[in-house]
Amino acid sequence: MSDLFPPFAPDPNEPRKRLFKPVPFRVIVPNIITLIALCLGLTAIRLAFEGRYEPAVVAIVVAALLDGVDGRVARLLKGTSRFGAELDSLADFVNFGVTPALILYSFLLHELKAIGWIAVLVFAIAMVLRLARFNVMLDDPHRPEWKKNFFTGMPAPAGALTSMLPLYLSFLGFSIGPAVAPLALVYLLGLAFLMVSTIPVYSGKTLGLKVPRHWVLPIFVLSVAVFGLLVNFPWEMLTGITILFLGSIPLSVMRYRQLARAEAAKAAFSPQSVPPGEEPPPAA
């Protein structure tokens, strides 16, 4: 029997096989940024239930800024991955769907008991549905190029930041008491509708890809001014940005319809749409 199973001594110089392939650090960096944003969102929940609403709102604002950075860092470092995309969606749901709704419930909507909690559930579910639709639309190869300049429905970070308008007003000294709770509930449900709707919202993704030379210095000055105002007057700036953003949605709809009509007119007069044997109409 010993001949059937001879003793075997492994070669100490034989290289050890790797169970997993090494991951480049450039792929890890964007995920670290996403996880930091997720930690801020979870910490905001704790701060809100401790009654520290101002730092809780600041944590959400910083998480929204990091959410706008992680994807750009991934593309800059060529570190995009399917794992990072899924992690980003899950973090967005927590940071912008669950956390703002819980903060609002702790701050004001608890006055409405079960009705307030139902509004929180509706907002969170609308957020996850909006994110799921966004992920599906990314894989659509037939989507026209101009439509990439528009979100379908209100984007997740914007939904979170605009939902906290009652807190901004409270920090500015306005009396936000139990009597305002029904208005806050209607406002939150309206934002939930905007997120799951097909209303186009301008994304600005292509804005600034190529900037005219004479605009460079004014943009630098404007950026510094906005940053200084946001640091010194955060609640005034956030209130103004929220109102301007909500007011810009009708303009986005008008621009979207204008581009859609232009595309339809172009398709109607394209050579492919002309029946065989007929001449295309002359160009205007």
pLDDT-based confidence at residue 102 (cuts at 50, 70, 90): very high
> How many other CB atoms sit within 10 Å of the CB of residue 174?
12
pLDDT-based confidence at residue 26 (cuts at 50, 70, 90): confident
Question: How confident is the model over 203-214, as a mean pLDDT?
Answer: 68
Question: Among 2-6, 52-56, 85-89, which is the least confidently predicted range?
Answer: 2-6
Per the domain annotation, does 232 fall within a domain?
A: yes
CA-CA distance, 91 to 78, in Å (whole number)? Answer: 21
Per the domain annotation, does 109 fall within a domain?
A: yes
On the question of pLDDT at 284 being above 50, the answer is: no
Model pTM score: 0.81
Question: How confident is the model over 224-247, as a mean pLDDT?
Answer: 92
pLDDT-based confidence at residue 270 (cuts at 50, 70, 90): low
Question: How confident is the model over 198-210, as a mean pLDDT?
Answer: 73
**Percent of the chain topping pLDDT 90:** 48
Number of domains in the chain: 1
Per the domain annotation, does 40 fall within a domain?
A: yes
Question: Among 117-121, 248-252, 259-263, 274-278, which is the least confidently predicted range?
Answer: 274-278
Which CATH number belongs to the domain containing residue 222 in this structure?
A: 1.20.120.1760
**Sequence-ordered strand ranges (E) for 53-204:** 150-152, 200-202
Per the domain annotation, does 152 fall within a domain?
A: yes
pLDDT-based confidence at residue 280 (cuts at 50, 70, 90): low
The average confidence (pLDDT) of the chain is 84
Phi, psi of 151 (to 5 degrees): -85, 150
* Overall residue count recorded for the chain in this entry: 284
State the angle between helix axes of 53-76 and 99-107 in degrees (0 to 180), rounded to the nearest 10: 170
Per the domain annotation, does 118 fall within a domain?
A: yes
Per the domain annotation, does 153 fall within a domain?
A: yes
On the question of pLDDT at 131 being above 70, the answer is: yes
DSSP count for the chain of H helices, then E strands: 10, 2
The listed range with the strongest mean pLDDT (73-87, 151-165, 256-270) is 151-165
The H-or-E segment that residue 183 falls in is: helix 181-196
238, 161 Cβ separation under 8 angstroms:
yes
Of 166 and 208, the structure prediction assigns the larger pLDDT to 166
Taking alpha carbons only, the member of 52, 107, 239 closest to residue 162 is 239
Question: Among 39-53, 111-125, 192-206, 229-243, which is the least confidently predicted range?
Answer: 192-206
155, 92 Cβ separation under 8 angstroms:
no
Per the domain annotation, does 276 fall within a domain?
A: no
Per the domain annotation, does 14 fall within a domain?
A: no
- Local structure of residue 200 (DSSP, 8 states): E
Range of the domain at 219: 25-204+211-265
Predicted local confidence at residue 205, as pLDDT: 64
